[in-house]
Amino acid sequence: MSAASLAVQGLFAGYGRTPVLKDVSLTVAPGERHVVIGPNGAGKTTFFRALCGEILPAAGTIRFEGRDVTRLDGFRRVRAGMGRSFQVARIFTDMTPAENVVVALEAGEVSNGTAGWRFATAPRASLRAEAEAILSDLGLAGRGDEPASILSHGDKKRLELAMMLALKPRLLLLDEPTAGMASADRMAAVRLVQRIVAETGATLILTEHDMDVVFHLGTRISVLHYGEIVTTGTPEEIRANSFVKEIYLGRGGHHA
Partner 1 sequence: MTLSPAARFLLVLAVLTAAALLLPFVANRGLVFLAGVVAINVVLGMAFNLLFSTAGLLSFGQATFSATGAYAVALLLLRLPDIPFLLALALAAAAGALAAVVIGFVALRRTEGVYFAVLTLAFAELVHVVIAKTSFFGRNDGLTGIPRPRLGPIDLAQGQAYYVFVIVVTALLIACLWWVTHSRLGRSFRAVRLDPMRAAFLGIDVRRRQLEAFAISGACAATAGGLMGPLTSIVSPDLAHWGESTKPILFTLLGGAGHFWGPLVGAVVFSAVEYGTRSLAGASDLITGGLLLAVVLAIPGGLLGLAALLVARLRPNRAGNQPSPPAIPVASTAEGAAR
Question: Rule CB under 8 A: which residues touch partner 1?
Answer: 52, 54, 73-75, 78-79, 83-84, 86, 90-95, 99, 102-104, 106-108, 110-111, 115, 118, 121, 123, 163, 167
97 backbone dihedrals φ, ψ, rounded to 5°: -55, -40
Please, which residue, 84 or 220, has the CB nearer to partner 1?
A: 84
Nearer to partner 1, 84 or 216 (CB): 84
Which one, 51 or 223, has the nearer CB to partner 1?
Answer: 51
Where are the extended beta strands (E) located within 85-166?
none
Q: Residue 145: name the closest of 103, 95, 100 by CA.
A: 95
State the nearest-atom distance from the C-beta of 134 to partner 1, in Å. Answer: 14
What is the spatial distance between Cα 34 and Cα 28, in angstroms, rounded to a whole number? 7
Q: Which is nearer to partner 1, 62 or 238 (CB)?
A: 62
- Give the Å distances, CA to CA, from 122 to 118, 125, 127, 187: 9, 8, 10, 38
**C-alpha–C-alpha distance, residues 250 and 252, integer Å:** 6
Q: Are 121 and 186 in contact (CB under 8 A)?
A: no
Q: How far is the CB of 189 from partner 1 (least distance, A)?
A: 19
149 DSSP 8-state letter = G
Q: What residues have CB less than 8 Å from 76, skipping those under 6 apart? A: 53, 69
Rg of the chain in Å (alpha carbons): 19
Strand pairing class (171-175; 82-84): parallel
Shortest distance, CB of residue 90 to partner 1, whole angstroms? 4
Q: How far is the CB of 8 from partner 1 (least distance, A)?
A: 19
Task: Tell the smallest beta-carbon distance from residue 234 to partner 1 (Å).
Answer: 30
Rama region for 66: left / alpha / beta (φ>0; ψ in -120 to 50; rest): left
- Of 102 and 224, nearer to partner 1 (C-beta) is 102
Smaller CB separation from partner 1, 110 or 129: 110
